[in-house]
């Protein structure tokens, strides 16, 4: 009788930033939320190393090879790795963090099928994989949100009204950086609202946008005020989230967008998608670094918002508000 095939499979969600992008670079908190879309990884034993049907070249996939060699120190049979993503890539949706989490979880399940998955361990592992792949520069936002799920707040220090989960640090080329990773516990009813993201179809150049904001802030003191306003809006958004007040949450999203626009990180296409969504939304804003990438709307009418985004030339994705984090899957 043929032996059953040894295989394992895991799924990790992508994310979108609700509040605090760019301000987080200056030490203020950022709030991200896990979304329904993400990355599924399946692994099985094979005669040679294969990724997505092609020979696996470790140097081209530093996240995956870091997890294989440095985290698990795996030296067993070659593996066939299959990756399926429902995220847009280079769009600020955290697709590489989701890949690291899903691959780490699948390999954990493959090697220790009876041991439970520990999301905090996975978050730290995925963060180290991102740092390895990105020359030591990686905030833990994407990896922690994909691992823990729900609403994650990343900050330089403690954040009022959140539950602390872990601290993490990284030695970057600019010096040591410390982060506090926290979660927001939200009332059940909040899951009745939806997020609709709209992808502009243009990549979001994070490094370039961060540099642009740094230059703007150093030459114009009003812009520093915009960063402080974003921090205040983030706090208002956190209060709204904890109370399950989605109207207030939407208003805070609108306000955050205005400040991001002052920081010149919006684009004509992002503006078009935000404007198209607003008549059917509680709030809408660009999300992430800007310059391209995605916007996000909060709504109780996701079909109308998706249609409006499509008509305005964007690619919509609908998610519940606050998806689960990384998990082992059966197939
Ligand atoms: O677009 P994303 O998801 O890569 O978000 C970037 C968020 C920034 O605050 C602009 C940069 C950062 O490192 O936090």
How far, in Å, from the CA of 279 to the mean position of ligand 1? 27
How many angstroms is it from 50 CA to the middle of ligand 1?
A: 32
3-state SS assignment for residue 13: strand
Cβ–Cβ under 8 Å, residues 165 and 145: no
Q: What distance in Å separates the CA atoms of residue 78 and residue 250, rounded to the nearest whole number?
A: 49
Dist CA 268 CA 139 (whole Å): 28
> What's the CA-to-centroid distance between 46 and ligand 1, angstroms?
37
Question: Domain segments of the chain: what residues?
Answer: 7-185, 188-320
Domain 7-185 class in CATH: alpha beta
Domain 188-320, CATH? 3.30.70.890
| Separation of CA 23 and ligand 1 centre (Å) | 9
Mapped onto helix, strand or coil, the DSSP state of residue 192 is helix
Rounded Cα distance, 217 and 219, in Å: 6
CA of 210 to the centre of ligand 1 (A): 8
- Spacing, Cα 21 to ligand 1 middle (Å): 6
Alpha-carbon span 153 to 272, nearest angstrom = 28
The DSSP letter of residue 161 is: T
Ligand 1: atom nearest CA of 293 is 1
Distance CA 188, CA 150 (A): 12
Please give the Cα distance from 206 to 229 (Å, whole number).
Answer: 21
Instruction: Report the pLDDT value the prediction gives residue 131, as an integer from 0 to 100.
Output: 85
Same fold for the pair 7-185 and 188-320:
no
| pLDDT at residue 289 in the model | 93
Average pLDDT along the chain, 331 residues, taken 10 residues at a time: 73 98 91 98 96 95 93 95 94 94 97 94 91 79 96 91 92 83 91 93 89 90 92 96 96 98 97 98 97 97 98 97 94 77
**CA distance to 7, 147, 178, 198, 298, per residue, from 286 (Å):** 39, 23, 26, 9, 12
pLDDT at position 135, please?
Answer: 73
Confidence (pLDDT) at 204: 85
Predicted local distance difference test score (pLDDT) of residue 3: 54
Tokens describing residue 180: 């506090």
Structure tokens at 213: 């904001």
Mutate to test the pocket of ligand 1, among 141, 145, 270, 285 (most ligand atoms within 8 A of CB): 141
Which run of H or E residues covers position 17? Answer: strand 7-19
* Residue 184: alpha-carbon gap to chain centroid: 16
| Residue with CA closest to ligand 1 atom 11 | 22
Q: Which atom of ligand 1 is nearest to the CA of 23?
A: 9
Please name the residue whose Cα sits nearest to atom 5 of ligand 1: 288
pLDDT tens digit sequence for 165-182: 999 988 877 788 889 999
Q: Do residues 127 and 140 lie in contact, with contact meaning Cβ atoms separated by under 8 Å?
A: yes
pLDDT at residue number 226: 95
Give the model confidence (pLDDT) of 36-45 as tens digits. 999 999 999 9
What are the φ/ψ torsions at residue 108 (nearest 5 degrees)? Answer: -60, -45
In this prediction, residue 2 carries a pLDDT of 54
- Residues touching ligand 1 (Cβ under 6 Å) are 17, 21-22, 24-25, 92, 139, 204, 206, 210, 288-289, 293
CA atoms within 13 Å, Cβ hemisphere of 265: 35
Query: Which helix (H) or strand (E) covers residue 83, if one does?
Result: strand 79-85
According to DSSP, the β-strands at 163-172 and 151-155 are unpaired
Angle (CA) 74-80-83 rounded to 5° is: 105
Query: From atom 10 of ligand 1, which residue's Cα is the shortest distance away?
Result: 289
3-state secondary structure of 175: strand
| pLDDT score for 179 | 92
Tokens of 214: 């740094």
Residues constituting the chain: 331
Instruction: Answer for the pair 242, 32: CB distance below 8 angstroms, yes or no.
Output: no
Q: Quick one: tokens of 78?
A: 């070659």
Strand-pair partners of 83:
41
Query: Distance between CA 15 and CA 94 in Å, rounded?
Result: 6
Pocket test for ligand 1, best of 15, 21, 265 (most atoms within 8 A of CB): 21
What pLDDT is attached to residue 175? 80
CA 91 to ligand 1: nearest atom:
1
C-alpha to C-alpha distance for 193 and 301, rounded to whole angstroms: 8
**106 CA to centre of ligand 1 in angstroms:** 27
Closest listed residue to residue 161, CA positions, set 184, 179, 180: 184
150: number of Cβ within 10 Å: 18
Give pTM, 2 decimals.
0.94
Pocket residue to mutate for ligand 1, from 13, 16, 17, most atoms within 8 A of Cβ: 17
| 181 three-state secondary structure | strand
């Amino acid at each position: 009788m043929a032996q059953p095939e040894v295989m394992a499979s895991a799924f990790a969600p992508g994310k979108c930033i609700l509040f605090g992008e760019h301000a987080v670079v200056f030490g203020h908190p950022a709030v991200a939320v896990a979304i329904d879309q993400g990355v599924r990884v399946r692994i099985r034993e094979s005669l040679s190393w294969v990724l997505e049907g092609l020979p696996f070249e470790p140097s081209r996939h530093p996240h995956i090879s870091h997890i294989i060699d440095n985290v698990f120190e795996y030296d067993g049979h070659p593996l066939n790795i299959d990756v399926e993503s429902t995220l847009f890539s280079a769009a600020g949706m955290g697709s590489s963090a989701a890949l690291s989490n899903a691959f780490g979880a699948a390999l954990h399940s493959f090697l220790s099928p009876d041991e439970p998955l520990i999301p905090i361990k996975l978050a730290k592992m995925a963060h180290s994989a991102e740092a390895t792949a990105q020359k030591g520069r990686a905030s833990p936002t994407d990896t922690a949100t994909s691992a823990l799920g729900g609403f994650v707040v990343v900050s330089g220090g403690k954040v009022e009204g959140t539950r602390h989960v872990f601290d993490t640090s990284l030695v970057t080329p600019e010096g040591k950086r410390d982060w506090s990773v926290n979660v927001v516990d939200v009332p059940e009813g909040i899951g009745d609202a939806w997020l609709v993201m709209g992808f502009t179809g243009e990549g979001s150049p994070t490094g370039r946008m961060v540099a642009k904001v740094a230059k703007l802030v150093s030459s114009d003191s009003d812009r520093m005020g915009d960063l402080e306003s974003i921090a205040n809006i983030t706090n208002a958004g956190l209060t709204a989230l904890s109370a399950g007040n989605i109207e207030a949450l939407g208003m805070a999203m609108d306000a955050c967008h205005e400040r991001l626009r002052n920081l010149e990180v919006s684009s004509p296409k992002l503006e078009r998608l935000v404007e198209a969504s607003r008549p059917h939304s509680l709030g809408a804003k660009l999300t992430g670094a800007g310059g391209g990438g995605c916007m996000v709307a909060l709504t109780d009418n996701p079909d109308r918002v998706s249609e409006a985004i499509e008509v305005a030339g964007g690619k919509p994705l609908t998610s519940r508000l606050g998806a689960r984090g990384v998990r082992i899957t059966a197939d």
